[in-house]
Amino acid sequence: MDFKLTDEQIERRKEFFEACKKLEKQKPANFVGHESIYTSDEGWEYHLHCAKEFAKRGWLSLGWPPEYGGKGDMMDCVLFAEARGYYDVPGVDGFGVRMLAPTLLQAASEEIRKEFLPPIAAAEVIWCEPWSEPDAGSDLAALTATAIRKGDEYVINGQKTWTTGAHRADWGFGVFKTDPAARKHHNLSFLLFDMKTPGITVRPVLYMHGGHVYNEVYFDDAHIPTRNIVGQENEGWAVVNLLAGFERSGIDEIMRLLRGLEHLVAYCNETRRNGEPLSKDPVIRNRLAQIACELEAARTLAYRVADLQSRNEMSLMDASAVKIFTGELSERFASLATDILGPYGQVKFSRWAPMSGLWETMYQECFVFTVSMGTNEIQKNIIAWYGLGLPRMR
């Protein structure tokens, strides 16, 4: 058992942290919370700027095999994610870089990889994931959107929703029914499509704080080439499961919360209430200590997942555990922080807002972790069924 990083890893980590620290200084003032990349034009510009900076250094393809321009080092990916999380710097496309690329590497044809991987590594194409449908959320395989093959094209019809960043992205990936007559799980195909394809319409769905994060994506006879398929026709469900494994990570979120804790500790040390610094309040001390312990528990478990991943020994249970735990920790932490700030906990980014309104934003955006990417309840099913071997729900 050894938590130690090699000298080379320590050096790389330093490099990642320095680069992100520099990029943090260029952050727009109103960039509060990571959904800011979608909610404002400056946020999106900043996201692309960071992405280009990372692409220049080859950091968007760190975990890829050398033949695709990567270094094949999962640990580097983790250290890079730590740095981005700590400084809350965007620039890594959560859909293209983190989910689609590793999926393509495992499941796509050589032709598809050659075509789609380089633009991801170069930050030239940003992706979105039109995934859920109005009547297919957790039960994704119940989806109804169709892609019917006609010659060398699929014609797509239907509606996706809750699509993060569809209004900003260049390309999208999703699953569609390619054989509506076949039974569930055996009728789906995983397709890639240009968001500018005629017939694709994107409409905003505003998040509770009014920000434009999510979208509805409509497909009305959208024609896409049949070669834009990952895996075999009607075998898209296997690709979905593969991709789901890459969705759950968490170390960047944990580092973001750790930085949040540092800010909050400084705030408590500096802020006096009834003539005493908040930091002297034993209740506050106790609650912050508790959060600190939980954060460290999340961090060490995320290392466990990274350690397994770096040896290609994925543990579905541990990955789900990190996702569940970190998500619920985000909710608890946002609740605690806004409590500590008292009436200021409700103030949005403005001259009255402590920490630029970070916690007011977090209080709302924390559901991004507990609801999306397989709700925590679905993750608990995964642990119960696949991990503990309990009987599956019918």
Binding site for another protein (CB under 8 A): 1-5, 9, 75, 261-262, 265-266, 268-269, 277, 279-280, 284-286, 288-290, 292-294, 296-298, 300-301, 303-304, 306-307, 310, 317-318, 321, 324-325, 377, 379-381, 383-385, 387-391, 393
Q: Indicate the residue among 151 and 391 with the shorter CB distance to another protein.
A: 391
Q: Indicate the residue among 60 and 78 with the shorter CB distance to another protein.
A: 78
Helix orientation angle between 74-87 and 282-310, rounded to the nearest 10 degrees:
150
Q: Indicate the residue among 226 and 271 with the shorter CB distance to another protein.
A: 271
CB of 47 vs another protein, minimal distance in Å: 30
**DSSP per-residue codes, 171-211:** EEEEEEES-TTSPTTSSEEEEEEETTSTTEEEEEEE-TTS-
Residue 197: HSE in the Cβ half-sphere, 13 Å Cα cutoff:
24
Q: Indicate the residue among 5 and 48 with the shorter CB distance to another protein.
A: 5
Q: Indicate the residue among 76 and 365 with the shorter CB distance to another protein.
A: 76
CA-to-CA distance for 172 and 383, rounded, in angstroms?
30
CB of 19 vs another protein, minimal distance in Å: 22
CA-to-CA distance for 201 and 218, rounded, in angstroms?
5
Closest Cα to residue 67, out of 105, 93, 34? 105
Helix orientation angle between 316-340 and 358-365, rounded to the nearest 10 degrees:
140
CB of 387 vs another protein, minimal distance in Å: 7
CB of 192 vs another protein, minimal distance in Å: 34
Q: Indicate the residue among 232 and 269 with the shorter CB distance to another protein.
A: 269
Residue 273: HSE in the Cβ half-sphere, 13 Å Cα cutoff:
13
CB of 257 vs another protein, minimal distance in Å: 13
Q: Indicate the residue among 271 and 364 with the shorter CB distance to another protein.
A: 271
CA-to-CA distance for 234 and 190, rounded, in angstroms?
8
| Buried-state track 296-330, b at ≥16 Cβ within 10 A, e below 16 | eebbebbbbbbbebbeeeeebbbbbbbbbbbbbbb
Integer-rounded Cα Rg, in Å, for the chain is 22
Q: Indicate the residue among 109 and 279 with the shorter CB distance to another protein.
A: 279
Coil, strand or helix at 319: helix
CB of 76 vs another protein, minimal distance in Å: 12
Q: Are 171 and 225 in contact (CB under 8 A)?
A: no
CA-to-CA distance for 286 and 289, rounded, in angstroms?
5
CB of 299 vs another protein, minimal distance in Å: 9
CB of 335 vs another protein, minimal distance in Å: 18
